[in-house]
Every structure is written in C-alpha cells, then in structure tokens.
C-alpha cells in the first residue's frame, strides 16, 4: 500500500486544502500527505537485520500505531513540532489528525479485519475490505485499488479547480503563518 497511500491521501489533501483556504486563507494540507506513512513506522521490524526484539523488545508490534490513541498523541506532538517551524497549532493538529486518519481509512478499505482503530475505546478490529490487496509495504497493493485512487485524485483536483480556478496548486505548499 505504499503508492496507494500517497494517491488516496493526496486526493483527501486536495479537498481538505480547498476547505482550509475557504475558511482560513491557508492551505497546510500537504501535512496530510507527509504524515500518511507515520502509522506504518511500526513495520520497522520487517527490515532485515532490524527486529523489534533488538530495538523495542516486546513493545511495538504492527498495528500499534494504527489506533485512535496514537492519532491523538501523534497529532499533538506534530502540532508542537510544526508550531516551532512557524505553523499554527490548529493547522498542524487538524492536518496531522486527518493525515493519520486517512491512513487508517485507506487500510480499512483494503483489509478486513484491519486493526483496532478505536483503541483505547475498543480493542475490536475493524475493516471494510472493499478493495482486494496483498500486503506489500514497498509496492503496489493492487492495480485496481491504485486505479480507483488515481480516479479519486483526478476528481478531487477537478472539483477544486472548478471552485478555485487553475491556480489553486500554488497555495498547496505554503508554510507558516499567513
């Protein structure tokens, strides 16, 4: 799901950016794309010669970062880090939370059951399993899944272009207080 996460998160970021610009005049939605991979950091144990037993013995397992608890804590941490770089807390927190939530949503679309997304409220695993996929961290999960993501991204770009005109992409990478 490596490539699919970029495509689906970019589609979500385009729409979220359009809403942000409408209400705040800023577009920090690039954070959504940047943070979409954060929950998969718990897969570091799959890299040869690096195991969870060496780095984090019996502490971190795949799926531990795919939770509501992680979403809230990580979003707060990223909001503070981004604030030191000149971004408003609100923008950093909201876009971080949406980026992490987008990852959860994308995984739920492909895997059934996926993860215990609502932990600590519930330890039950949820998933939709709408699209077929194979677990391939560094590649394409499925060409159908990727094609649907590309179509959604193109639709999101068309919607934003319709409402904001052709120059909307110039505001996409603005950073800091505006």
The answer for residues whose C-beta is within 8 angstroms of residue 49's C-beta and 6 or more apart is: none
What token pair was written down for 12? 């979500």
Let me know how long the chain is.
178
User: Could you list the mean pLDDT of each consecutive 10-residue stretch along the chain, which spans 178 residues?
Assistant: 84 92 85 85 60 54 72 91 90 91 81 62 60 59 80 94 82 52
Q: What are the Cα distances from residue 145, in Å, to 4, 65, 98, 127, 139?
A: 7, 23, 20, 15, 12
Q: Which residues sit opposite 126 in a β-bridge?
A: 115
Distance of CA 69 to the CA centre of its chain: 15
Residue 102 to residue 13: CA distance in whole angstroms: 9
What token pair was written down for 91? 């923008």
- Res 122: pLDDT: 56
- Res 177: pLDDT: 45
- Res 34: pLDDT: 87
- Res 60: pLDDT: 58
């Amino acid at each position: 799901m490596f490539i699919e996460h970029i495509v689906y998160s970019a589609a979500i970021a385009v729409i979220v950016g359009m809403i942000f610009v409408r209400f705040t005049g800023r577009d920090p939605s690039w954070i959504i794309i940047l943070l979409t991979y954060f929950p998969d950091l718990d897969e570091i144990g799959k890299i040869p010669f690096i195991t969870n037993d060496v780095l984090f013995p019996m502490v971190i397992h795949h799926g531990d970062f795919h939770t509501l608890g992680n979403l809230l804590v990580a979003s707060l941490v990223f909001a503070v880090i981004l604030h030191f770089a000149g971004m408003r807390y609100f923008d950093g927190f909201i876009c971080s939370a949406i980026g992490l939530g987008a990852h959860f949503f994308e995984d739920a679309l492909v895997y059934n059951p996926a993860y215990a997304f609502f932990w600590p409220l519930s330890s039950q695993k949820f998933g939709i399993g709408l699209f077929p996929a194979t677990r391939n961290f560094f590649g394409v999960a499925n060409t159908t899944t990727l094609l649907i993501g590309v179509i959604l991204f193109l639709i999101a770009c068309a919607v934003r272009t319709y409402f904001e005109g052709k120059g909307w992409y110039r505001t996409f990478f603005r950073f800091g207080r505006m």
